[in-house]
Homo-oligomer: A and B are copies of this chain.
Amino acid sequence: MKSGDSTAIDVPDPAAGGGAAAKGKAVPVVAAPLPWPGGWKKGVAIFDFILRLCAIVTALAAAATMGTSDQTLPFFTQFFQFQASYDDLPTFQFFVIAMAIVGGYLVLSLPFSIVCIVRPHAIGLRFLLLILDTMALTLTTAAGAAAAAIVYLAHNGNPNTNWLAICQQFGDFCQKASGAVVASMITALVFVVLVLASAMALRRV
């Protein structure tokens, strides 16, 4: 039976520890199909919950920073006033909307994450969270990368296409936009960890 257990189930370390302990205690055949105590899965679920809280903060910070980034220069000509705002650039609008959606999704996913803590073996729920997290990861990365491309252009301009750097005039605006991009990148990083943690919790161990 013991060799059967270890060959049939492709045992990684934590369960192996549990299995070894059970073996040491000489638990008979019945314990075989469930060698893990669910302890490390509960740990992963708690970790997941904490990461979600962090991601909520960074996602909403990114949306709020970008959403409030407007700057009016203290001088104006006869024709127009020099003003920069996030909704001058469609990419930044997309960024604000996407990060707000991600933040909202994260808040709504908290109850599910709590259920995963209470019931570490709720595979279906965890798989649902994994699917939605993958979508949110893609959305966050897309928004962050697109905004980063525009922020880079605003900082450096491009002589080949005659796109001038606007950050010399609108320094504060660029600062806030850059900060928002950094926050979105952190959110994307947290999502990568969330996806991998969910996949690890799904592992048949």
For the complex, give the distance between the alpha carbons of A31 and B7 in Å.
10
A2 to B5, CA, bound (A): 10
A76-123 residues with Cβ-Cβ distance < 8 A to B are 84, 88-91, 121-123
Tell me the minimal C-beta distance from A66 to chain B in angstroms. 14
Q: Check A33 against B33 for contact (C-beta < 8 Å).
A: yes
B11 touches A30 (CB 8 A): no
How many copies altogether? 2
Contact with B along A1-27 (1 / 0, CB 8 A): 111111111111101101110110001
- Nearest Cβ in chain B — how far from A91, in angstroms? 5
A142 nearest CB neighbor, chain B only: B145
Distance to closest chain B CB from A73 (angstroms): 13
Of B3, B20, B89, B123, which contacts A161 at CB under 8 A?
Answer: B89
- Residues of chain B within 8 A (CB-CB) of A202 are 199, 202-204
CB-CB under 8 A from A123, the residues of chain B are: 10, 12, 203-205
CA distance A8 to B163 in the complex (A): 60
